Amino acid sequence: MSEKKPFLTLEQAKEITAVYPTPFHIYDEAGIRATARAVNSAFAWNPGFREYFAVKATPNPYILRILREEGCGADCSSDTELMLSEAVGFAGEEIMFSSNNTTEDEFARANRQGAIINLDDITLIETLEAACGIPETICCRYTPGGDFAIGNEIMDQPKEAKYGMTRAQLTEAYKILKGKGARRFGLHAFLASNTLTNDYYPTLARILFETAVELKKETGADIKFINLSGGIGLACRPEEPDNDIMAIGEGVRRAYEEVLVPAGMGDVTLYAELGRYMLGGNGAIVTRAQHEKHTYKEYIGVDACACNLMRPAMYGAYHHITVLGKENAPCDHVYDVVGSLCENNDKFAIDRAMPQVDRGDLLYIHDTGAHGYSMGYNYNGKLRSAELLLGEDGGIKLIRRAETPKDYFATFDFSEFDIHE
């Protein structure tokens, strides 16, 4: 079972809110390091294994620096993510550029930084060649189409995904790239998101390993690495069992021994591009209950809104909520926990059994460390919150200040208007 235990106590949260007003995102350095070490140890059997953290999940240089110290690389898909990674010190093959619908400018920058380029589509060979020529090391992204199932359970629908090349295009792309001077090949696929089974990575790995063996036979390409990408999820609800990263690493090892080793490909290096698994559980939002409303339902209005965390509104995602200081109180009330947007999907929880919430209570929204702040937006003129880091020493560091109205208005030229804060 996943234990939904905040990494902050009420006392700590009160000390923090005396300095930094709610709402804010906060990340747990010790947790981030422990997760990175667990992932690295689960794949330590594969020499050269590297987790390229998906920068889009938590694009903050202080977070990226911690991950770099733990031996991770950076997975980017835009100009600014490349710039951020460069600023943190990621260089050359410490960067994976896994983008789609990519521009020449983006390819040119990725290539200048020495990143490994992962091609989403066969037509991008032309774009890449025009941008910077074909590098010696190149990766191609595969989609098998259809439904992706583990046993009887359909996990996702690659047939509906905009990403990747078909099986036939993969062979063609490898041949073309080889003809244009590519020497070291990689293979990548991302078939299901936020999975909660130890079988996702092993199942995906087996598909990629078998495909790699075929591709080598068909094209003679020297396949150096296979990128299992992201998709390992988190147990968001208290009753759900957590993924076991050691079992996942072991499952991938078994597929490797059964498929790659007998094919003479026992020197292939494995890469990952995990985002959510690395940071999700190591971040939270702290927000204050500011109103209660009793109409046809019971509402708790908090000072965060969907602009701080879009996932419940966008995906109906469940995020556990702890009322700090009431961890052991009975959940004998049922609430909708809502923000202040003029948008009715702005709800962090719907019909949620919780302890009684009083105005002024601090609510801790779990598992917001990945795809949380980074999916934020400014609808209704709401400002993005601060990001804080709880250091290993227990200290608090402001790693991104909260936006001010000035930030919100920064892209207008106000010379024709008169604005007052």
Ligand X SMILES: *Cc1c(COP(=O)(O)O)cnc(C)c1O
Q: Which residues bind ligand X (CB under 6 A)?
A: 54, 56-57, 75, 98, 190, 193-194, 229-231, 273-277, 370
Cβ 193 to ligand X, closest distance in Å?
5
Minimum separation from the CB atom of position 21 to ligand X (A) = 29
Nearer to ligand X, 98 or 308 (CB): 98
C-beta of 355 vs 372, nearer to ligand X = 372
10 or 196: whose CB is closer to ligand X? 196
Nearer to ligand X, 100 or 356 (CB): 100
CB of 99 to ligand X, least distance (A): 8
User: What is the closest distance, in whole angstroms, from the C-beta atom of residue 319 to ligand X in the complex?
Assistant: 15
Cβ closest to ligand X, residue 107 vs residue 335: 107
Measured from the CB of residue 371, what is the shortest distance to ligand X in angstroms? Answer: 6
CB nearer ligand X, residue 82 or residue 362: 82
Task: Specify the residue, 272 or 286, whose C-beta has the smaller distance to ligand X.
Answer: 272
Q: Write the secondary structure of the chain as one string of H (helix), E (strand) and C (coil).
A: CCCCCCCCCHHHHHHHHHHCCCCEEEEEHHHHHHHHHHHHHHCCCCCCCEEEEEHHHCCCHHHHHHHHHCCCEEEECCHHHHHHHHHHCCCHHHEEEECCCCCHHHHHHHHHCCCEEEECCCCHHHHHHHHHCCCCEEEEEECCCCCEEECCEEEECHHHCCCCECHHHHHHHHHHHHHCCCCEEEEECCCCCCECCCCHHHHHHHHHHHHHHHHHHHHCCCEEEEECCCCECCCCCCCCCCCCHHHHHHHHHHHHHHHHCCCCCCCCEEEECCCHHHHHHHEEEEEEEEEEEECCCEEEEECCCCCCCCHHHHHCCCCCEEECCCCCCCCCEEEEEECCCCCCCCEEEEEEEECCCCCCCEEEECCCCCCCHHHCCCHHHCCCCEEEEECCCCCEEEEECCCCHHHHHCCCCHHHCCCCC
Least distance CB 231 / ligand X (angstroms): 5
Nearer to ligand X, 164 or 339 (CB): 164
The least CB distance from residue 94 to ligand X, in Å, is: 16
The least CB distance from residue 278 to ligand X, in Å, is 8
